[in-house]
Amino acid sequence: MENVLAIKNLSKNFNKVKALDDVSFELKKGEILGIVGESGSGKSTLAKVITRIVKPDGGNILFKGEDFTKLNSAKLREYRKNVQMVFQNPNSTFSPRMNIGDFLCEGMLNFKLASKKEALKKAKEYLELVKLPTDIMERLPHQLSGGQLQRVVIARALTLSPEVLIYDEATAALDVSVQQDVLKLMYDLRKSCDNSVIFICHDLAAVRLVADRIIVMYNGKIVEIVDSKNLLSESKEEYTKKLLGSVFEVK
């Protein structure tokens, strides 16, 4: 299968903390790649380095074969459009006085993908795609629930037709009852929107439900990469089994 992203020997230190330590993997076209690991294992740093919010100290990130650490500004803009991220807390993504319709149009207008009129029409289509009523376009963020806001954030990321979508603990701040719905939405959208997904989550049980392959991280390093289906039989690492163990204890 074709690789959309190839991550090679990434490293990032914060003072003496090795947040990323020689991390290498590939994201295949159309797959959902799960990333698990306890808090502080480097998952968010990895997402921020891939989306270029944070600069790596070393290593390379190839997007469809092109090294984006060496891209010029026009190419970098294209890369930013193509690699979108959804964060844990939807509230932090909104400006309190911008209505949902304008929020959804912003990216399309910034990247000149549509006129204002076309953008508004598309915004409604994306709201339908994430199963929200289109009459919320006029509303302000505080008039929506956390689950609805997270759907809006996902819809906005999709308005740019990204090839890669990174969810960083995107369900963690939501009520448990809503988490499953958003998880299912993410799973279904991957097919309808034809993109590749990196799904970061500390909860291995949730990751197993949606991911094709799972990367297990610990202390900035990749412990192992396993097929989701064969997680139990294929995993060779004690640490993964410990994460699995904590899942089974919940029963």
Ligand X SMILES: Nc1ncnc2c1ncn2[C@@H]1O[C@H](COP(=O)(O)OP(=O)(O)O)[C@@H](O)[C@H]1O
With CA atoms as reference, report the closest residue to 140 among 86, 93, 96, 202: 96
Binding-site partner at residue 230 among Mg ion, ligand X, none, CB < 5 to 8 Å by type: none
Token pair 């954030």 is found at: 153
Our CB check for ligand X shows the closer of 45 and 84 to be 45
Considering only the stretches 14-22, 109-117, 130-138, 242-250, report the one whose residues sit in contact with ligand X under the rule CB under 6 A: 14-22
Query: Which residues here bind Mg ion, judged by CB under 5 A?
Result: 43-44
Q: What is the dihedral of CA 207, 211, 215, 219, to 10 degrees?
A: -30
Does residue 14 interact with ligand X by CB under 6 A?
yes
Q: Dihedral, CA atoms, 196, 199, 184, 84, nearest 10 degrees?
A: -60
Report CA dihedral (85, 21, 56, 171) to the nearest 10 degrees: 10
Residues 44-83 as x/- pattern, contact with ligand X by CB under 6 A:
xx--------------------------------------
Residue nearest to Mg ion (CB): 44
Task: Return the range that interacts with ligand X (CB under 6 A); candidates 32-40, 111-119, 128-136, 184-192.
Answer: 32-40
Rounded Cα gap, residues 101 and 135, in angstroms:
9
Q: Does 42 bind ligand X (CB under 6 A)?
A: yes
Report the interface residues with ligand X, using CB under 6 A: 14, 17, 19, 37, 39-45
